[in-house]
Amino acid sequence: MERCCPDWMSCLPEELWDVALTHLAIPGSHDAMSYCLDINSPLVRSESDFFRLLDGVFYCFTRPAIFKWATTQDKSIEQQLSMGIRFFDLRIAHKPGDLFNDLYFTHVIYTHLTVLETLSSVATWLDSHPKEIVILACSHFEGIDDRLHESFILSLKKLFGSKLCPRKESVLTLRSLWASGYQVLLSYDSQTAVRHQELWPAIPYWWANKHTAQGVISYLDWNKDLGRPEGLFVSGLNLTADRNYITMNPKQSLRTLTFSNWERLRKWLEEQVPGSDPRSLNIIAGDFVGPLPLCSLVIALNQKLLRKNSSQIKKHY
Supply the residues annotated as catalytic: 30, 107
DSSP state of 290: T
What is the C-alpha separation between 85 and 126, in angstroms, rounded?
13
The closest alpha carbon to 34, from 66, 71, 64, belongs to: 71
What is the C-alpha separation between 77 and 80, in angstroms, rounded?
5
What is the C-alpha separation between 251 and 28, in angstroms, rounded?
28
Q: Are strands 234-236 and 199-200 parallel, antiparallel or unpaired?
A: unpaired
Q: What are phi and psi of 37, to 5 degrees?
A: -65, 140
Residue 51: beta bridge partners?
Answer: none
CB 24 within 8 A of CB 282: yes
**Residues in the chain, total:** 317
Integer-rounded Cα Rg, in Å, for the chain is 20
CB 159 within 8 A of CB 120: yes
Within a 10 A sphere around the Cβ of 186, how many other Cβ atoms? 25
Q: Compute the Cα dihedral for 92, 95, 101, 102 and give only its sign.
A: negative
What separation in angstroms does the CA of 3 have from each of 95, 132, 146, 177, 294? 36, 17, 42, 26, 10
Within a 10 A sphere around the Cβ of 291, how many other Cβ atoms? 16
